Amino acid sequence: MSDECLFCRIVAGEIPAKLAGENDAAIAFHDISPQAPVHLLIVPRAHVSGLRAIGSMSDQNVHKMLSLAADLAQKLGLEESGYRLVTNDGPDSGQTVFHLHWHLLGGRPMTAEFA
């Protein structure tokens, strides 16, 4: 855990968040500035700075993190219509919290635009 990392502090329960789901490897919570009707953040419990550092996670924990995203998409009724799962890595990508996280977005048609 990094004492300065916002997501580490959410994982530790020091900062409240509206939880959507969890397992022993990851937690999911609602984004405070949603960009879609469903906008969750799925973060590993251990501090990992971004996708380029994913090698520090075990394959099993990476699988559990992505499985949590898929399970939540199903639970929230997004499977049939579709959803987007995206991560940003590094400042030029728009990453603002340097703790690996996936955005699960759905509940409306997504555009092809990313910028």
Let me know: does 15 contact 6? Beta carbons within 8 Å.
Answer: yes
Q: Which of 39, 99, 101, 103 is catalytic?
A: 101
Let me know: does 23 contact 70? Beta carbons within 8 Å.
Answer: no
Quick one: pLDDT at residue 1?
66
**pLDDT band, residue 115 (cuts 50/70/90):** very low
Let me know: does 19 contact 89? Beta carbons within 8 Å.
Answer: no
Does the domain at 6-96 match CATH 3.30.428.10? Answer given as yes
pTM comes to 0.93
Q: What is the mean pLDDT of residues 52-70?
A: 97
> Beta-carbon neighbour count of residue 16 at 10 Å?
8
> What is the sign, positive or negative, of the torsion defined by CA atoms of 113, 91, 36, 84?
positive
Q: Does the annotation mark 101 as catalytic?
A: yes
**pLDDT band, residue 112 (cuts 50/70/90):** confident
Residue 105 pLDDT greater than 90, yes or no: yes
> What is the sign, positive or negative, of the torsion defined by CA atoms of 23, 29, 17, 54?
positive
